[in-house]
Amino acid sequence: MNAANGMPGSRLGVLASGRGSNLQALLDGQENGELRARVAVVISDRADAPALERARRHGVPALHLDPGSPRARLRPEAETEIVRALRAHGVDWVVLAGYFRIVGSVLLDAFADRVLNIHPSLLPAFPGLHAPRQALAYGVEVAGCTVHLVTAAVDAGPILRQEAVAVRPDDTEESLAARILEREHRILVAAVNDVVGRPFRIEGRRVRWGTAAPAGE
Ligand code: GRF
């Protein structure tokens, strides 16, 4: 918590399972000054996740923490370990950046309304896996991506940012996913800047923004 303005601070804990291009966008934003936050720790459920290597290359602590189960849903004991590690690194906000596990109440209670997720569709359309594939199969003309707050229901929390991507007639799953991914990188940095820079409250499903803290506080 930032004692000066009553808002949480701006240290991020990023959870990632794979490639880590969204993590990379945060690390690049941190280095070029676009991100008004710092990645304090990266945690993966997979020891060989390229995301861990990306973190280490930027001097960011990178941990493999066993999910405790082959299932998608983390075991509560594993979440307790993750929360302990996040707290040990002074984390204020948690970002799920391609974290292919379902988080539950242990983590969500510890970081209430402070867990963000990036999803490659315009939610509530196409939650779950392979969203660009679902979008193409459905025949939509507009796809996109969403950053939202994480709640107990998967891919269903209050929306922080969205961006639309036009589907082209010749799109494949790969080409559409690649164009969506470019937008993901932008809105993830923007959404982190939003939440660390301005207080907000949740009304129903809607995020209501307050006034930005004066510079320097
Ligand atoms: C992204 O498409 C993200 O929206 C989804 O998983 C993918 C992760 O990609 N949740 P990367 O690991 O950040 O490159």
Of ligand 1's listed atoms, the one at least distance from the Cα of 120 is 4
Pick the catalytic residue from 58, 64, 89, 119: 119
Residue 212 has pLDDT above 90, yes or no: no
Please determine, for residue 27, whether its predicted confidence score (pLDDT) is greater than 60.
yes
Same-fold call for 9-112 versus 119-147+162-209: yes
63 pLDDT tier (thresholds 50, 70, 90) = very high
Q: How far is the CA of 43 from the centre of ligand 1 (A)?
A: 15
Mean pLDDT of the chain: 94
Quick one: tokens of 129?
């896996």
- How much of the chain, in percent, has pLDDT values that exceed 70? 95
Q: Name the pTM for this structure.
A: 0.95
Q: In the annotation, is 130 catalytic?
A: no
pLDDT at 3: 47
3-state secondary structure the chain: CECCCCECCCEEEEECCCCCHHHHHHHHHHHHCCCCCEEEEEEECCCCCHHHHHHHHCCCCEEECCCCCCCCECCHHHHHHHHHHHHHCCCCEEEECCCCCECCHHHHHHCCCCEEEEECCCCCCCCCCCHHHHHHHHCCCEEEEEEEECCCCCCCCCEEEEEEEECCCCCCHHHHHHHHHHHHHHHHHHHHHHHHHCCEEEECCEEEECCCCCCCC
Ligand 1 mean position, distance from CA 2 (Å): 30
> Per residue in 149-184, pLDDT tens?
999 999 999 999 999 999 999 999 999 999 999 999
Q: Which of 5-19, 28-42, 89-103, 158-172 has the lowest mean pLDDT?
A: 5-19
- Superfamily of structural domain 119-147+162-209: Formyl transferase, N-terminal domain (3.40.50.170)
**What single-letter DSSP state applies at residue 137?**
H
Q: Is the CB of 184 under 6 A from ligand 1?
A: yes
Q: Is the pLDDT of residue 216 over 80?
A: no
Q: Where are the domains of the chain?
A: 9-112, 119-147+162-209
Look at domain 9-112 and name its CATH class: alpha beta
Q: Does residue 2 register a pLDDT over 60?
A: no
Ligand 1 centre to CA of 98 (Å) is 4
**pLDDT above 50 (res 78):** yes
* Among candidate residues 168, 144, 149, the one with its CA nearest the CA of residue 159: 149
User: Looking at residue 125, what is its pLDDT?
Assistant: 98
Q: Give residue 68's pLDDT.
A: 82
Mean pLDDT in residue range 120-143? 98
